[in-house]
Amino acid sequence: MKQLLTLLLFLVSFTINSQNLFEKIYKDFLKDLNQGEQSWHEIEIDGEYFDIECWDETGTERKETTCAIYPVYPTKNGLRATDGTKWVRLFTNKESNNENK
């Protein structure tokens, strides 16, 4: 529950402060075609971890891009694992590659 609240606070903060880490991750994804059709970036907010995934439905053309955020939980062996069942789509963008940059 605490992590879900942290995620919601992050999303509110993102809405208020649109020039942040998420925007950098997205712009890097658009520019770096070597990442393939998707990228994952782990971020930390107040000691809680989240994964930001960006992907392109068209492969590497960057014409139909989507980004989502997932909670990340500690595992019994001391690592972290993404919970793929609890995610929030941040946006979908169907503009051309040149317009996204």
| Every domain of the chain and the residues it spans | 2-100
Please report the pLDDT score of residue 18 as a whole number. 41
Nearest to 90 by CA among 36, 41, 35, 46: 41
Q: What is the pLDDT of residues 61-95, one digit of tens each?
A: 888 999 998 999 999 999 999 999 988 888 788 75
Question: 20 pLDDT exceeds 90?
Answer: no
Check: CB of residue 64 under 8 Å from CB of residue 29. no
What are the two backbone dihedrals, phi and then psi, of residue 2, each rounded to the nearest 5 degrees? Answer: -60, -40
SS3 of residue 11 by DSSP: helix
Q: What is the pLDDT of residues 22-61, one digit of tens each?
A: 788 888 898 888 888 999 999 887 788 889 999 998 888 8
Give 96's pLDDT tier (boundaries 50, 70, 90).
Answer: very low
